[in-house]
A and B are shown apart, each in its own frame.
Chain A
Amino acid sequence: MTLAKRIIPCLDVKDGQTVKGTNFVNLRQAGDPVELGKAYSRQGADELIYLDITASHEGRKTFTRMVQRVAAEINIPFTVGGGVNELADVDRLLSAGADKVSINSAALRNPGLIDEIARHFGSQVCVVAIDARETERGWLCYLNGGRVVTDRSLFDWAREVSERGAGEILFTSMNHDGVKTGYANDALRHLTDTLTIPVIASGGAGSKEHFRDTFLYGKSDAALAASVFHFGEISIPELKSYLRQEGIRVRI
């Protein structure tokens, strides 16, 4: 027996409001990240990810207060990320009630942060997000939300992250993100075949088949999506019953 494959809606939050527009049915406050998260939880989401895309200090405080509300009102695990630069940020977000914290650029700049988080709080709270693009020189990691290329190879970095004690990798393919033609399953397959920690697929979901493919061919442990859920193009209950018909173990 294996674990259920996880379906994870991702919510971008700025100044306490979800950023991408939504046409979620029967939701009074579509902009409220807590209300939206609750709706996803009721629909059968297995986990939620909230990303703070605010740059300001004031925005950070608002985000922390939101994390406290999510923890108070939602009964499934949730990860938070965005602007996590040091151990104190992790402490603040875990104290506010987050189950896991995702780090991205800060890990590339200071890989020792992964070891520190794992040592202080346990590997299970440490999600390392990797944004990468397939180039002529292979898969390369990017910093600052995909704006700055590095010379780190995706696969080398993923292995290092895992050895340093990350509990999970959230891999976003920049080639696939927003295109809705499916996840980067070849790269995902390479990651899941070589690593011993779970890998969350991100970037490319456009149809139910794409989720099936990333679980069957990419061997992803979880699949993240934003717009297909936010705009109601795919509903989680329908997606899960489809995946179950396709022989994939999901929680219904």
Chain B
Amino acid sequence: MKVAIVKYNAGNIRSVVNALNRLGVCPSVTDRPEELLSADRVLFPGQGEAFTTMQYLKEHRLDSLICSLRQPVLGICIGQQLMCRHSEEGDTECLGIFDTDVIRFRPTRHEEKVPHMGWNRLRNMENDLFHGCEEGVFAYFVHSYYVPVNPCTAAVCDYIEPFSAALHKDNFYATQFHPEKSGDTGERILQNFLDLKV
């Protein structure tokens, strides 16, 4: 199976490569259109800021390319946010794959620290990505912006308010949490993504 990771100016892509290696997969990290288009699976991971990452994608014409992909695609963290319509971070127009906006957490109590960083529970996991994961399982999050619950929500997490821990529409999947850092649960989710029936 050919697995490609979108190469762009976001951080922490190496840890996704490591996680896939642990599953016995050697992904290529690339921004070459033909390589991305011909891969069996594409991952779009990373940590970063919405405006500068989106600008990079546009300059390198990766924006239209990502939208045109037909194989299963998995966005992670900033990847998920960039696949939405608009982000409050830097007032950024994003890829518009998921018809929803990304907004900043607004704490209402002192205990509600931002970024939301650490282990939190997933619920309402109605998706093949979560095959074999129990309701309430923990995943690792690091983010200050979130996607509200919407028709594409594939799993919910509760922090300050319920938000989308995962999204799914057609061949596009995305998680706000980091499966590559979420222990055995995360590895199962990545394996489920690789095992998706096309």
Q: Do B11 and A1 touch (CB < 8 A)?
A: no
Bound complex: CA A97 to CA B21 (Å): 14
Q: Do B183 and A97 touch (CB < 8 A)?
A: no
Candidate in A72, A193, A222 with the most chain B CB atoms within 10 angstroms: A72
| Interface presence of B117 (CB below 8 A) | yes
Chain B residues near A122 (CB-CB < 8 A) = 11, 47-48
| Interface presence of A2 (CB below 8 A) | yes
| Interface presence of B186 (CB below 8 A) | yes
| Interface presence of A94 (CB below 8 A) | yes
Q: Which chain B residues (1-28) contact chain A, with CB distance < 8 Å?
A: 11-12, 14-15, 18-19, 21-22
| Interface presence of A156 (CB below 8 A) | no
Bound complex: CA A178 to CA B114 (Å): 32
Question: How many CB-defined contacts (below 8 Å) exist between A and B?
Answer: 77
Bound complex: CA A77 to CA B180 (Å): 9
Per-residue interface assignment for chain B, residues 116 to 135, with 1 indicating a CB less than 8 Å from any chain A CB and 0 otherwise = 11111100000000000000
| Interface presence of B159 (CB below 8 A) | yes
Q: Do B19 and A75 touch (CB < 8 A)?
A: yes
Minimum distance in angstroms from B85 CB to a CB of chain A: 24
Residue A94 contacts which of B11, B48, B158, B183 (CB distance < 8 angstroms)? B11
Given known pairs A75-B182, A75-B183, the reply for A198 and B117 (CB within 8 Å) is yes
Q: Do A4 and B120 touch (CB < 8 A)?
A: yes
Q: Which chain B residues (152-184) contact chain A, with CB distance < 8 Å?
A: 158-159, 180-184
Minimal Cβ-Cβ distance residue in A for B47 = A122
| Interface presence of A73 (CB below 8 A) | yes
| Interface presence of A3 (CB below 8 A) | yes
Chain A residues near B15 (CB-CB < 8 A) = 71, 97, 99
| Interface presence of B97 (CB below 8 A) | no
Q: Do A76 and B140 touch (CB < 8 A)?
A: yes
| Interface presence of A131 (CB below 8 A) | no
Q: Do A4 and B14 touch (CB < 8 A)?
A: no
| Interface presence of B111 (CB below 8 A) | yes
Residue B187 contacts which of A6, A73, A75 (CB distance < 8 angstroms)? A75
Give the number of residues in B that approach A within 8 Å (Cβ atoms): 34
Residue B113 contacts which of A71, A99, A197 (CB distance < 8 angstroms)? A197
Minimal Cβ-Cβ distance residue in A for B178 = A77
Chain B residues near A95 (CB-CB < 8 A) = 14
Minimum distance in angstroms from B111 CB to a CB of chain A: 6
Q: Do B120 and A3 touch (CB < 8 A)?
A: yes
- Secondary structure of the A contact surface, majority rule: loop
Given known pairs A75-B180, A124-B47, the reply for A4 and B11 (CB within 8 Å) is no
Bound complex: CA A103 to CA B73 (Å): 37
| Interface presence of B193 (CB below 8 A) | no
Residue A6 contacts which of B18, B48, B107, B119 (CB distance < 8 angstroms)? B119
Minimal Cβ-Cβ distance residue in B for A71 = B18
Per-residue interface assignment for chain A, residues 57 to 73, with 1 indicating a CB less than 8 Å from any chain B CB and 0 otherwise = 00000000000000111
| Interface presence of A251 (CB below 8 A) | yes
Chain A residues near B197 (CB-CB < 8 A) = none
Q: Do A167 and B183 touch (CB < 8 A)?
A: no
Minimal Cβ-Cβ distance residue in B for A46 = B119
Minimal Cβ-Cβ distance residue in B for A75 = B183
Bound complex: CA A123 to CA B47 (Å): 12
Residue A4 contacts which of B138, B180, B183 (CB distance < 8 angstroms)? B138
Per-residue interface assignment for chain A, residues 210 to 248, with 1 indicating a CB less than 8 Å from any chain B CB and 0 otherwise = 000000000001100000000000000000000000000
Chain B residues near A198 (CB-CB < 8 A) = 113, 117-118
Residue B11 contacts which of A2, A46, A121, A193 (CB distance < 8 angstroms)? A121
Q: Which residues in A have some Cβ–Cβ distance to B below 8 Å?
A: 1-4, 6, 41, 46, 71-73, 75-77, 94-95, 97, 99, 121-124, 167-168, 193, 196-198, 221-222, 251
Give 13 pairs: A residue, B residue, CB < 8 Å, sorted on A. Answer: A1-B159, A2-B159, A4-B119, A6-B118, A46-B118, A71-B14, A73-B22, A76-B182, A97-B15, A196-B107, A196-B110, A221-B113, A251-B138
The 5 closest A-B CB pairs, nearest first, are A1-B158, A3-B118, A251-B138, A4-B119, A251-B119
